[in-house]
Structure 1
Amino acid sequence: MPAGNGGRSRSKRPSMFEVARLAGVSHQTVSRVINNSKDVSPATRIKVQQAIRKLGYRPSNSARALASSRSRTIGLVAGGVSLFGPVSSITAIETVARSHGLFMSVMMVDESACTLAGFQELCGTFLEQNVDAFIFLTPTDTMFQAACQVEVSQPRVIVTSTHGITSVEEALSRRRGEGRIAMTGIDQWGAVQRLARLLVSRGHRRVLYMAGPSQWRDASTRLASWKVACARCRIRTAVVHARSWEAGESYTLMNHLIDQRGMSGTSLPSAVVTANDNQAVGVARSLQEHGIRIPSDISLVGFDDVPTVDNMFPPLATVRPRFEDLGVATMRQVLALLHQGQPVDFPVTHHGVGLIQADVIQRRSLGYAVERI
């Protein structure tokens, strides 16, 4: 539809040359402003930005890539996407990227079956897109090792846990590629230490711990911290090892434990701590079916604070990792590696991994220790 006074069609996209004319500068200057070049005076930058807003100009990503030798695209390879934590972090990463005019290209992988060759092939697909940097969400040791060893020259940020079958130091010693590297994660170690102190403050000295699958670095970190915390706090603990994060398995394991102790006449512990909330749901079902009340007879604590556990009966005490903050920090580290900001000042760093806090959430499933059932 024609605009008044013979103006341009309203459906026509404004061009960089129109912005330049309105601002009274060259189109090269407009390009420098769009690409955040330092070679533009503050006054000129303001004039160009005002013209961009007035015309509603949106730069072409391909044009920006040609001008800056960057695609403004970040390649993200993620495992564990069936679980709450990785999905929450990815959402935050994408939001921050979009706010900086960057695009995310995402590939999901099977975290248990990932190989270095497969990982290299995925990254090759990203390299064909000329991505500026990589983000790797690596929940398992297999993925973590591949993320360190893959041959890429672009900067990479690896989201991982501090402990696992393969240490951070060992994985980095096998690193390939030339790009700079940063690592981010959740301070799960510190959260477990605080949880143990809270349990002791409520009189719990005999606690069952249900560990997660050993190939997951989160499970390794939580278990290692739990063992240290129990030694420090003089908590007597038994550890049950699950092969998955699923409620069905934890339900079966807890049923077996209750039956086993019933036959031997051994009393149950005063509390059960699980390595994630799904496991806590299965444990809660088993306890309730056996007529064991939470927390009157036994306390229960999970990990992750997934949606709905605050509406369990009773509401589940748990640990709440700040997954969204992790996503934001991860993307800020990418920007820093691309010289578009300062690195994150993490409150805690272990083994070279910058860590975001996790909070212990007290709810009614955690009571005071009682004389044994």
Structure 2
Amino acid sequence: MARQTRRPSMFDVAKLAGVSHQTVSRVINHSSDVSPDTRRRVQQAIDTLGYRPSNSARALASHRSRTIGLIAGGHRFYGPVTAIAAIEAIARTHGLYMDVMLMHDVRCSQQEFNALCAKFQEQNADAVILLTPTDAMFEAAFRAPITQPRVVITSSHGAMSIPEAMRLLSRDVRSRTSCVGIDQYGAMTELHQQVLDYGHRNVLYFAGPREWRDAYTRLLAWNKACASSPMSSVTVQCATWDAGEAYQRMNHVLENIGRIGAKPPTCVVCANDAMAVGVLRALHEHGVRVPQEVSVVGFDDMPAMDNLTPPLTTVRPNFDELGAQAMREVLFLLGEGPEAAFSISTHGIGLVPARVMRRQSLARAASRL
């Protein structure tokens, strides 16, 4: 049996390159305080020996693991997945490693959440990011015994407000905690105004599941805008975000309208794009033309929404920027970057703007005689 060779060390690289081990360390850590010739010699020695830096050794020397823990719910949906990808990309550019743990967003327990956080403690993670789309995950994120800096990605409104959640933390922990999100409230207010400007006064609103903070925020903003306008809005409460449920509920609405001879709405606003797809299918099967007879609006601007028939008017949250801002907050809390700048900051949370994408599914309200 061939004898196993010893793994090359930083001292071996230094000896071969004719430099000190401190110089090798500076080259590995991309310090600018190394001449191009010395950097070239050290890199040649690294390549010749096949040297690979030891992450554990670097962690001991710097007291940093260079690992960021991420607990995420909502991973079945486009928005959270996009934000997670942006977080990972930013982390990689800063030489940080992501350790991602996914959990069920609704059936989340405090015990399960704490157990995942304990894993990050054992790994000596430098910070944690908590993507919490539901009330259960949001509250668990603030009750978890986390000692590292934490960044919570969530919506501005829910069963527990952000100021209430912050009061669960000690002053010291609060100083190492930050919340970021999308300005969904502002986007829904803007969307309401555009629907109103098109002359719509009789609207159906398809609301998302109650336990989701996104759904809560969007419905709250919509209802508040309607309360101060001439628009009449009736809420259709859905238990899921799925197109299938929205399709079934829209079918039921249309059948009831036909049975009692009521006036149909001129517009259907949906809390997400999947619901809008289900509504569009039901309208099509009942021979209702969109947008000539009924306009339809969604939220999220998922891929392909601009290629529906007709292209869907929807709200486009900047999920990439949300992930980037969350990672900037982490770097700031770790003392490795400037404080993230938010154009909107309210209700205790820094918010990334969202904008209405106006397309052909929203048109002037059809006259109802």
Answer whether TM exceeds 0.5 for this pair. Answer: yes
Structure 2 equivalent of residue 71 of structure 1: 65
Structure 1 match to 2:196: 200
**Higher mean C-alpha displacement, 57-66 vs 225-234:** 57-66
What are the equivalent positions in structure 2 for 1:282-321 lying under 5 Å apart?
Answer: 282-321=278-317
Q: What SS is found at the alignment partner of 1:178?
A: helix
Instruction: Point out the more displaced range, 23-32 or 136-145.
Output: 23-32
Q: How far apart in 2 are the matches of 1:265 and 1:48?
A: 85
Matching of residues 264-343 of structure 1 within 5 Å: 264-343=260-339
Q: Alpha-carbon deviations, 1:302-357, whole Å to 9, x = none? A: 00111122221111111111101111111111111111101210110121211111
Corresponding residue for 1:8? none
Structure 2: gaps spanning 5 or more residues: 1-5
What is the 5 A alignment of 1:60-99?
60-99=54-93
3-state SS, counterpart of residue 240 of structure 1: strand
Q: How many Å apart are 1:94 and its aligned residue?
A: 0.6
Give the residue type in structure 2 aligned to 1:360: V
Aligned to 2:209: 213
Out of 125, 130, 153, the residue aligned to residue 131 of structure 1 is 125
Matched-pair contact (CA < 8 Å) for 1:19–1:51? no
Residues 1:43 and 1:370: Cα distance change in structure 2 (over 3 Å)? same
Determine the structure 2 residue equivalent to 1:3: none
Task: Label 1:24 to 1:338 Cα distance change in 2 as closer, same or farther (>3 A).
Answer: farther
1:178 counterpart letter in structure 2: V
Contact 1:140–1:215 (Cα < 8 Å) also in 2: yes
Q: Deviation per CA, 1:154-175, whole angstroms, max 9, x where unpaired?
A: 0000000000011111122223
Deviation of 1:113 after TM superposition, in Å, equals: 0.9
Q: What corresponds to 2:248 in structure 1?
A: 252
Q: Compute the RMSD of aligned alpha carbons.
A: 2.5
**Mind listing any 5+ residue stretches in structure 1 that lack a counterpart?**
1-11
Structure 1 residue 29: Cα displacement: 4.8
> Are 1:134 and 1:155, in contact at CA under 8 Å, matched by a contact in 2?
yes
- Which 4+ residue blocks in structure 1 deviate beyond 6 angstroms? 21-24, 45-48
- Post-superposition Cα deviations, 1:137-169, rounded to whole Å, max 9, x if no partner, equal 000000000001100110000000000011111
Paired amino acid for 1:327: G
C-alpha distance in 1 between matches for 2:53 and 2:190: 49
Give secondary structure in 2 for the equivalent of 1:239: strand
1:62 shift after superposition: 2.0
CA contact (8 A) 1:157 1:183 kept: yes
Q: Residues 48 and 149 (structure 1 numbering): CA distance in 2 closer, same or farther, change over 3 Å?
A: farther
Moved more, 136-145 or 66-75: 66-75
Asked if 1:226 corresponds to 2:222, the answer is yes
Aligned to 2:149: 155
Q: Is the 8 A contact 2:26 2:33 kept in 1?
A: no
Are 2:173 and 1:178 aligned?
A: yes
Q: For this pair of structures, how many residues does the alignment match?
A: 359
Q: Is the contact made by 2:178 and 2:329 (CA closer than 8 Å) also made in structure 1?
A: yes
CA contact (8 A) 1:136 1:147 kept: yes
Contact 2:14 2:42 in 1 (8 A): no
- Confirm or deny: 8 A CA contact 1:208 1:238 kept in the other structure: yes
Tell me if the contact between 2:203 and 2:266 (Cα under 8 Å) persists in the aligned partners.
yes
Distance in 2 (CA, whole Å) between partners of 1:233 and 1:53 is 68
- CA change 1:114–1:44 in 2 (3 A) is same
Percent identity, aligned pairs only?
Answer: 51
Helix, strand or coil at the partner of 1:208: strand
Question: Which residues of 2 match residues 110-129 of structure 1 at below 5 A?
Answer: 110-129=104-123
What is the alpha-carbon distance in structure 2 between the residues aligned to residue 49 and residue 191 of structure 1?
51
Once residues 198 and 90 of structure 1 are traced to their aligned partners in structure 2, the CA distance between those partners, rounded to angstroms, is 31
